[in-house]
Amino acid sequence: MGKRIIIDPITRIEGHLRIEVEVENNVIKDAWSSITLWRGIETILKGRDPRDAGLIVQRFCGVCTYVHYEASIMACEDAFKVKPPPNARIIRNLIGGAQYLYDHVMHFYHLHGLDWVDIVSALSADPKKAVDLARSVNPDPYNCSETQYKAVQQRLTKFVKSGRIGPFANAYWGNPSYKLPPEANLVVLSHYLDALQVSKIGAQMMAIFGGKNPHPQTLVVGGVTSVMDALDASRIGAYLYRLKELRDFVDRAYIPDVLIAAKYYKDEGLAGVGGGAKSFLSYGGFPLDESDGAMLFPRGIVKAGNLAKPLKLDEAKITEEATHSWYKGSEPQHPFKGTTDPEYTGYDATGNLKGNEKYSWCKAPRYDGQPYEVGPLARLVVAYAQGHKEIKPLIDNTLKATGLPATVLFSTLGRTAARALETVYVGNHIEGWVNELVANIKKGDTRTWTKCDVPKSGEGRGMTEPPRGALGHWVRIENSVIANYQAVVPSTWNCSPRDKAGRRGPYEESLIGTRLAKVDQPLEILRTIHSFDPCMACAVHIIDPQTNEIKKYKIL
């Protein structure tokens, strides 16, 4: 048996995640992913007015703020049998689009960047050469000059000299698995600092129609409330102006920086490091008209890397089970019928997860019995396999420009690149939505809400594609209050523990075979786990409130 390594806390994510791996000769042989916090928000929803659910479930997560709000409102609209008017659909897309832009930027630089970039190495870079490098991937790189790069180095030097490097302390600087030359480290570090400001612009975009960020407060069952903002040309202008600034950063910083990373990490991409099981699922997201069909991201499945044979998604095949989760039961259940009854069994005597028993607050979602990865890579792979008229050329052109084969997508690097590419794709469409909104209002359609009331009973689901992947909320209403609520969220799919058949979840599977340069520095593990953009808070509310009673737990 190999050496067991525990990484807890996994930092630079939302929430509380623990990863344990077994290593032999520096290579990961087995892995366990565990969520270490449970809040039970679905229990809290029982008996409440369904119209309050959106604001409550939004608090699943403050990083993927808004998305649970939207999914919940969609589930209620399905149950209330009401359709929001076109203006409301568009405004929701504008808020969601802003979320994509700033969230992906923030993820690449602030949550994931330090897995690729060695900031200490940036100190030894030649600023002039850094300018040349930046210009080799983009003719007009963002905030790029010798003076700027020198200033960044000076700022960093001062930090290091003061001995107080705050969030940069105690990290893995100098680890041989950092592959970027000093100049590349400097270019990306400089954008890391720029991105702190830029991501705020995206938050402002969300606030224009959402009231604030995080946790906007503008969606209601049947529509949106920010009608004054929609009718105000100056608000539309304020949004467009910020959109331009943010897209400029994406085009001239984010994309070129990912291309730089791809250049130096391509061997790992080609070797498929972090690839995992290569099964992908997308619910489809951003409705483009009132038809329920046309969506910016298509819905579908790709199984075991088979790009030649994309499959249709059948909602009835979605299940969750809890063989290895701290809940009772082990039979797969559809979310409408799920049960959850906490059964905490703790860690073993040595303080490790009990990998053969229950070991996480996360349940195991499966599609047709199999684990599936969700997120940017899943969305793009599904669209690519379906021959999507915009996404396929976007990927093909990028592969051609970098001289890499399509198989490079199935890796940690591929996951990170997919996130960048879809940021461009979403960004390309937002202005069109704004124009659509303006045209609609000019036509005299100022409706933002469709009249509706809480039904006596009903059942509904909201399925969408927020930045981190396929998100579904299922609600059942009885006596005009919530009788049952379930959310199967992106990080539940990805962070899933093993199922009854012993199949690992996507995080776990993606780590197998990864070689660690230094066993006491889990850099490669962080890089792969972060490439999924983990967001744990939302993943641990999977409880069916069949009963309000909380059982006594055996603490072992």
Is residue 211 within the footprint of another protein (CB under 8 A)? Answer: yes
Nearer to another protein, 60 or 265 (CB): 60
The residue range among 6-14, 137-145, 255-263, 390-398 that interacts with another protein, by the rule CB under 8 A, is 6-14
Return the residue of 23, 28, 31, 41 that touches another protein, per CB under 8 A. 41
CB of 366 to another protein, least distance (A): 25
Within 344-383, the residues that bind another protein by CB under 8 A are: 344, 346-347, 351, 361
Is residue 548 within the footprint of another protein (CB under 8 A)? Answer: yes
Nearer to another protein, 93 or 218 (CB): 218
- 330 in catalytic set: no
Return the residue of 141, 223, 460, 462 that touches another protein, per CB under 8 A. 223
The residue range among 45-53, 265-273, 362-370, 467-475 that interacts with another protein, by the rule CB under 8 A, is 45-53
* Pair 66, 103: CB distance under 8 Å: no
- Which residues, 6+ apart, have CB-to-CB distance to 130 below 8 Å? 146, 149, 183, 184, 186, 187
- 379 in catalytic set: no
The residue range among 49-57, 177-185, 411-419, 431-439 that interacts with another protein, by the rule CB under 8 A, is 49-57
- 468 in catalytic set: yes
- 291 in catalytic set: no
User: Which token pair is 371?
Assistant: 């684990």
CB atoms within 10 A of CB 459: 16
Inter-axis angle of helices 182-210 and 146-162, to 10 degrees? 90
Q: Which of 21, 178, 115 has its CA nearest to residue 512?
A: 21
CA distances from 95 to 116, 182, 203, 211, 440 (A): 30, 38, 9, 10, 18
Q: For the chain, give the longest Cα–Cα distance.
A: 71
Nearer to another protein, 371 or 497 (CB): 497
Within 158-187, the residues that bind another protein by CB under 8 A are: 158-159, 162, 164-172
- 362 in catalytic set: no
Is residue 244 within the footprint of another protein (CB under 8 A)? Answer: no
How far is Cα 68 from Cα 473, in angstroms, rounded to an integer? 8
Within 286-345, the residues that bind another protein by CB under 8 A are: 342, 344
Within 189-208, the residues that bind another protein by CB under 8 A are: 196-197, 199-204, 206-208
Which 3 state secondary structure label does DSSP give 459?
Answer: strand
Please tell me which residue in 59, 68, 104, 324 is annotated as part of the active site: 68
Which 3 state secondary structure label does DSSP give 56?
Answer: helix
Tokens 């379906």 -> residue: 386
Tell me phi and psi for residue 177, to 5 degrees.
Answer: -80, -5
CB of 476 to another protein, least distance (A): 18
Tell me phi and psi for residue 499, to 5 degrees.
Answer: -105, -175
- 215 in catalytic set: no
The residue range among 12-20, 259-267, 401-409, 417-425 that interacts with another protein, by the rule CB under 8 A, is 12-20
Which 3 state secondary structure label does DSSP give 134?
Answer: helix
How far is Cα 191 from Cα 49, in angstroms, rounded to an integer? 45
Return the residue of 86, 214, 455, 513 that touches another protein, per CB under 8 A. 214
Beta bridge partners of 282: 300
- 76 in catalytic set: no
Please tell me which residue in 491, 496, 510, 531 is annotated as part of the active site: 491
User: Which token pair is 435?
Assistant: 């124009």
Pairing of strands 295-297, 285-287: antiparallel
How far is Cα 409 from Cα 355, in angstroms, rounded to an integer? 30
The residue range among 72-80, 211-219, 303-311, 509-517 that interacts with another protein, by the rule CB under 8 A, is 211-219
CA 365 to chain centre: 17
Within 385-424, the residues that bind another protein by CB under 8 A are: none
Tokens 């006491």 -> residue: 520
- 491 in catalytic set: yes
Please tell me which residue in 415, 468, 473, 530 is annotated as part of the active site: 468
CB of 54 to another protein, least distance (A): 9
The residue range among 142-150, 299-307, 440-448, 505-513 that interacts with another protein, by the rule CB under 8 A, is 440-448
Within 62-121, the residues that bind another protein by CB under 8 A are: 62-63, 65, 102, 106, 110-111, 114
Is residue 8 within the footprint of another protein (CB under 8 A)? Answer: yes
Q: Which of 274, 173, 169 has its CA nearest to residue 525?
A: 274
Q: Which of 12, 1, 8 has its CA nearest to residue 352?
A: 8
Nearer to another protein, 501 or 556 (CB): 556
Residue type at position 208: I
Is residue 285 within the footprint of another protein (CB under 8 A)? Answer: no
**Per-position x/- string for 492-531, each x denoting binding to another protein as judged by CB under 8 A, each - no binding:** ----------------------------xxx---x-----
How far is Cα 73 from Cα 287, in angstroms, rounded to an integer? 14
- What is the set of active-site residues? 14, 61, 64, 68, 468, 491, 535, 538
